[in-house]
Amino acid sequence: MDDSRIIKTEYSEEMQKSFIDYAMSVIIARALPDVRDGLKPVQRRTLYDMYELGIRYDRPYRKSARIVGDTMGKYHPHGDSSIYEALVVMTQEFKRGLPLVDGHGNFGNIEGDGAAAMRYTEARLQRVTQEAFLGDLDKDVVDFVPNFDETEKEPSVLPVKIPNFLVNGSEGIAVGMATSTPPHNLGEVIDAMKAYMKNESITTKELMRCLKGPDFPTGGIVTNKDDLPGIYETGTGKIKIRGKVEFEKQKNGRTNVVITEIPYTMIGMNISKFLSDVAGLVESKKTMDVTDISNQSSKEGIRIVIELRKDADAENFVNLLYKKTRLEDTFGVNMLAICDGRPETMGLKAILKATVDFQFQIATRKYNNLLAKELERKEIQEGLIKACNVIDLIIEILRGSRDRAMAKACLVEGKTTGLKFKAKESRIMAAQLSFTEKQANAILEMRLYKLIGLEIDALIKEHDETVANIYRYEDILERRDSMAQVIINELDGYKKAYARKRRTVIENAEEAVYKEKEVEETEVVFLMDRFGYARTIDFAVYERNKEAADGENLFVFSCKNTGKVCLFTSAGQLHTIKVMDLPYGKFRDKGTPIDNVSNFNSEKEEIVFITSQTELNLRQVIFVTAQGMAKLVSGGEFDVSKRTVAATKLGEGDRVVNVTPVTEQRNIVLQTKEGYFLKFDIEEIPEKKKAALGVRAMKLGARDFVENVYYTSNTTDSSIEYKGKNISLNHMKSAHRDGKGVKVRV
């Protein structure tokens, strides 16, 4: 290998430089739009390629695959999918305030269905794109740069005549930055641009008298009108948007909630997500008002129908949708664009300034080019008119010349050497001729029919028009007011031709407040069987089936229907469950798995104890672990709002084996796996916080652990069966906490 080609450099420095180069490439050449034309490179190249292919609005559609392939081969070597996706978005009326491409075929829909493959769809330019985006490309108003392989030329920016960056908005994720600009109403943006041109010291607040705020293609309602001036001043902020809801009264007295417009952020798969969220509200019993939901949307527009029960409060239900679903959502604004070759977050006034400056730049280049052409035309016209006045002399010069060069030399410089004239006066007059090079060429190429009287009159009239054009172009170029008026007139023309009524309503709306229906408090009985299925039943039903309920279920206790159930696990966790979340019904109903209504994970932990939070609040609770740790905790510490909290602290490899509220118990009896029993007074267990580890209740052997915990009282004789032997706990000898206990021989 040639050593001269090896570059020695610090690895970290090379990585840093390479990453910065990559990041800038993504930022400038891929992800962010240019503030001047509001287009990303892929969009600009696709539109220019369609222009080059002649796929105009008044010509037949062409296959999308042809457009994509041509764009990729000539200008954008980044894969066909990115080009086709850009083309698809530019056709979608529900995503763009002003679609730039006219699509024919399946280009997707608002509900998230994708476009058909590019080989099936066709496209052509929209009329507005051809007129306002590409119309002046032939007038040398923008710079052309080499393409990726320097075989073609492409425009560095399109000469767009309208503020497209604001009209169509943009979304893009670059490296370390992202752009998110909402679409706006074309007419309003043009009015704001005109207001800025008339008064460059205008404030953002004054500009917003013209531009009220975003205008989403999907309509909807912007609910934070007072926040908009700050957002448009800085270029960043959050816009709150809601869908539009209507109420339809049915013949049966019921009310249907009909969503006719959705938030812009709900476009695509989020519509189906919204439907599933509403179904989730019903399943989780957040609402019991819904009887049916259907999506009746079509080409005519959005129509999502939610049927409510007869006695339902429709407005309160809509507030629930605003609170719990994406029917009310936030659009994050970050108006980031490429300005003067670098990314910049811009407020409304800065965007309009950049757009107006660009309009003056392209207008200056346009009218300089038009003026140069008119001056050239004037020069030629004046030469032809002058020639018509001495046409006999010119014919004599042409007939007397040996070749074109001799005739041209006479016309331009008055050289008559070698020329044959009929009269001496003709030679004298010929020597006085002084046509310019261009005039001489035009005279030599002039056809005889131009000598007809009407043609000469037309030439004189054309010359007068040329002079008038020169005067007008010079006035436009010399006076900024004149150029501004020309730009304003063009803007008015686009507004008249392409502006539409505002779709999005802008207002200050109060925050949605959902009032839950007050439930009449009653006493119910919680039941959970050995398979983990839980439910509640009426207290009177329990009383009639008490024996069967107690025999068939692991946990049975009474509680309030407005309260909570506390579930303690072997992992030291406390899971709380709202009683209202449990199924309430008949005695023989199956119930629901406890996993479905709580964060309890049956694969990682076991249920140790379940009781009502009301019962806990009145008691102290004893915790005993497998490693022989114990403590008392005030039940009030478990009155928590979170669904899951740590109920106790555990040592490494330890687990909870017993949780019991203290009532009439006098002694506690610990039984280990090896058959050791230790009985001592409950009062020897100290009270600790739930986050504490506790104290050692029993000394254990190396491989021994606490297996069961029993309690005794003075009023009731307690006995257990251990390995076939009946043991009376009341007659067992008492010891003290932290003892080894007595081994029971069997």
Tell me which residues are annotated as active site: 120
Contact 278, 271 (CB under 8 A): no
Contact 334, 236 (CB under 8 A): yes
Six-digit token string for 51? 């222009």
Contact 157, 84 (CB under 8 A): no
By C-alpha distance, which of 400, 525, 384, 509 is closest to 455? 384
Rounded to whole angstroms, how far apart are CA atoms 473 and 371?
6
By C-alpha distance, which of 493, 161, 242, 214 is closest to 348? 214
Six-digit token string for 739? 């003892």
Rounded to whole angstroms, how far apart are CA atoms 740 and 735?
10
On the 0-12 / 13-18 / 19+ scale of CB atoms within 10 A, 19 is exposed
By C-alpha distance, which of 399, 404, 390, 395 is closest to 433? 390
Rounded to whole angstroms, how far apart are CA atoms 539 and 558?
8
Rounded to whole angstroms, how far apart are CA atoms 739 and 166?
80
Amino acid symbol at 704: D
By C-alpha distance, which of 211, 193, 267, 238 is closest to 335? 238
**CA dist 490 to 300, 391, 472, 531, Å?**
33, 44, 16, 77
By C-alpha distance, which of 202, 153, 169 is closest to 51? 153
Six-digit token string for 510? 């109060």
By C-alpha distance, which of 695, 712, 718, 581 is closest to 648? 695
Q: Would you give the distance in Å from CA 126 to the centre of its chain?
A: 26
By C-alpha distance, which of 590, 593, 577, 584 is closest to 538? 584
